[in-house]
Amino acid sequence: MDELIEDWVRLAPEIDPLTEGVVERVHLIARALDLACAEIASPHGINTRDYDILARLYWTGEPHRLTPTQLANGTGAPTTSITSRLDRLERLGLLRRVPAERDRRSLLAELTAEGISLFRGMVREQAQIEAAAFRKLDPEDLAQLRDLLDKALSACRETMTAPPRRVELAADKH
């Protein structure tokens, strides 16, 4: 990878090879984790965007309900595409639509018991894959990597529009 980046620097000298080395490695790790998630979701007839919806609903806690607008904001998806995704997940029995308590004209998406069970199983499988991926790092190195990535994320948030953390998205009830 470093040789490839050095080739890029020859073509575009404004590239900082150290920074680019970090960025490329982070991209490759993120892509590998995304592919693993897609492989876990696929046998259940869902994709990673569907998984994101299930995750947002699950992480909000009981009763695992959000409005379509909250789901759109939390997943970064256009509101127009959320409806078709919710329709598909509802047909699969993973969620249902329930009237909002304050405005019965509005419908909330709510995870079903089947949706909760499926999501928890997928999280278990994903956790095993992630643990295996980082197994060669000893706990001290893994903690150091986590801390360095946390610093990098904070720095990125100061200079770029970085996506909010999953927990922030799920907790946003507005």
16-75 pLDDT, tens digit per residue, is: 999 999 999 999 999 999 999 999 999 999 998 899 999 999 999 999 999 888 888 877
Residue 174: which pLDDT band, with cuts at 50, 70 and 90? very low
Q: Which residue has the tokens 């295996």?
A: 132
Q: Which fold has domain 46-171?
A: Arc Repressor Mutant, subunit A (1.10.10)
List, edge to edge, every strand of the sheet that includes 65-66. Answer: 65-66, 107-111, 95-99
> Is the predicted pLDDT of residue 173 greater than 50, yes or no?
no
Instruction: Compute CA 145 distance to the chain's CA centroid, rounded to the nearest angstrom.
Output: 20
Whether 53 and 67 have beta carbons less than 8 Å apart is answered as: no
pTM score: 0.79
Give the model confidence (pLDDT) of 81-97 as tens digits.
Answer: 888 999 999 999 999 99
Show the tokens assigned to 51: 């998984």
Spatial separation of the C-alpha atoms in residues 138 and 150, rounded to whole Å? 18
Query: Coil, strand or helix: which one is 87?
Result: helix
